[in-house]
Amino acid sequence: MMIVLLHVSAPVRDQWHAMATANWLVGAIFDSFGRAGVPLFVMISGALLLPKKEEWGIFYKKRFSRILLPMFFWSFIFALLWQWQLGESNSIFQLTFKIIAGPTYYHLWYFYMLLGIYFATPFIRVLVQNLNNKQLELLILIWIVFRFLLPGAFGQLSIWFNFDMSLGIQQNFPDLYIGYYILGYYLHQYGLPFKLKHGGLWFIVVTIIQMIVSAAIYNKVGTYQELMILPYSITVLFQALFFYSWMQNLKTTATPKWMNIISVSSFGIYLIHPLIIEGLRLGIGKYHLDAKTADTLLSIPITWLATFFLSAIIILILLKVPYLRKLVS
C-alpha cells in the first residue's frame, strides 16, 4: 500500500511550481508516507531469508524460478506501454535487449536489485550467521555513517551554505539495499538495541519532519530535490526502523483474513499497479482519475485506494487461472 501511494503521489510532488502550495504540501505528505515501502520489503526479505540454512543450489533454483518468468513477462508488457507512450516502434528483438539492459518501466528496477541480493544471499548468510549481535551492530553503524549520515550532512551543507564536500569512501560504499537486508535480519534476531515505545507515532513524526524539511529545501533551491526522500535519506531509514519495530511489537493471536488476502496478491499488485494508474488517468471519455487535480486532499487518496483495490481484484482473479498464476505469484 505504501508503494502504490508513493507512485500515485510522487507526480504531484514534482509539481512544485505548477500548483497551489497547499495542494503541493498535501501531495508531499502523502508521498512521504510511502517512502519506507521499498526498504521495508528488503528488510522483511532479510528477516525471512538470511536465518535459513540451505544448499546454495537449492536457494538459487527456488528463488530464480519464481522471479525470472514474471520479470521477463512484465518487463515486456511495460516495454510495450513505454514505447506506446513515447510513440516509438521497436522489434521484439530490440525490446528483449532493453529488458536485459535494465528496467523497462519505473517500478521494475526492483527486480534487478532483488536479483543482485539473491546472488549475494548465500555469502551474506555465512557472514551474518557467524557474527554476534555486537559485531552486527558495528557493521550496521558503519553502514549508517557512510551511507546516510555523511551524504545527508554534506548534502545539507551544499544546499544551505553552498559548501561542497564529499569523501571518496562515501561515494563507493557497499550497496545501500544490502544494508537494509542485513538490518532486517538483525531486527528479526535481536530487535532494536534500545527500548522504543509508540513506534507508529514516531513513524508519523519522522514522516512530517521529512515533508517539512523537503518543502524548506525546495523553497530554498527553487527546484525539485530528493535529498530527504530517497532510500539513503536518514529520515527514510528512521521511517523503516520505526514502522518495522511497531509491527514487530504488535500483540496479535492471528493474522486477519483481509491481510492474508492482500499478502497473497502483494507481488501481483506491485507488478500491475502502474498499468492501473495509467488506465485511471486516461479514463473512459470524460471519466478519469488523476492525482494531479486541484484538490489533492481528495484526488490522491481516492486514486490511491482505487488503484490498490482494482489491482488486488485483478490479481486475485489471475491467481485462479492455473497458467497465469505463475506470472503474478
Give the pLDDT confidence of 228-256 residue by residue, as tens digits: 888 889 999 999 999 999 998 887 778 88
Integer Cα distance of 79 and 74 in angstroms: 8
Are 147 and 47 a contacting pair, CB within 8 Å? no
How is the chain split into domains, by residue range?
A: 35-67+92-250
Give the pLDDT confidence of 151-210 residue by residue, as tens digits: 888 888 888 888 887 766 655 555 789 999 999 999 999 988 888 888 899 999 999 999
Give the pLDDT confidence of 85-141 residue by residue, as tens digits: 767 777 777 778 888 888 888 899 999 999 999 999 999 999 999 999 999 999 999
Are 272 and 328 a contacting pair, CB within 8 Å? yes
> What mean pLDDT do residues 253-275 have?
90
DSSP codes joined into one string, 40-52: HHHHHHHHHHTT-
Residue 45's nearest CA partner among 267, 268, 301 is: 267
Residue-averaged pLDDT of the chain: 88
**pTM, two decimal places:** 0.89
Q: What Rg, from alpha-carbon coordinates, does the chain have?
A: 21
pLDDT score recorded for residue 12: 86
Pick the most confident of 24-38, 72-86, 149-163.
24-38
Integer Cα distance of 71 and 195 in angstroms: 40
